Amino acid sequence: MNRALELLLRGAKQTGTFVEGLQYIYEDLYTTDDIDHLEKFCTWLDMEIGGAGPANIEDLYFAFGNQDSPHAQYVISHWKEKLAIYKMY
């Protein structure tokens, strides 16, 4: 798994959201990591998807970067539905 994504998961686990989690792990990121892109991804996860976990963060990261592709749209709708069900319980 991408190191930055692993750090984002750790940060979100500690803080409760991906946006706050990014701030939590900010100093652990490499200088080559695109912070603006990661921040947009975190905002998208929190606002549009409803979260992510180890099982789906890579798929969602792909979908975020390729939102025009039909496969990405399927991934997005699939995980939105799954997470909505999980949040009901």
Q: Is 26 helix (H, G, I), strand (E, B) or coil?
A: helix
CA distance 63 to 76: 7
What is the chain's percent helix, strand, coil content, to nearest 5?
75, 0, 25
At 87 the pLDDT is: 76
Q: How many structural domains is the chain composed of?
A: 1
For residue 16, the model assigns a pLDDT of 96
What local confidence, expressed as pLDDT, does residue 4 receive?
96
Query: How confident is the model over 38-83, as pLDDT tens digits?
Result: 999 999 999 999 999 999 999 999 999 999 999 999 999 999 999 8
pTM for the whole thing? 0.91
50: left (phi over 0), alpha (psi -120 to 50) or beta: left
**Domain ranges, residue 42:** 3-88
Give me the pLDDT at residue 75, please.
96
Q: Quote the CA–CA distance of 60 and 63 in Å, as a whole number.
A: 5
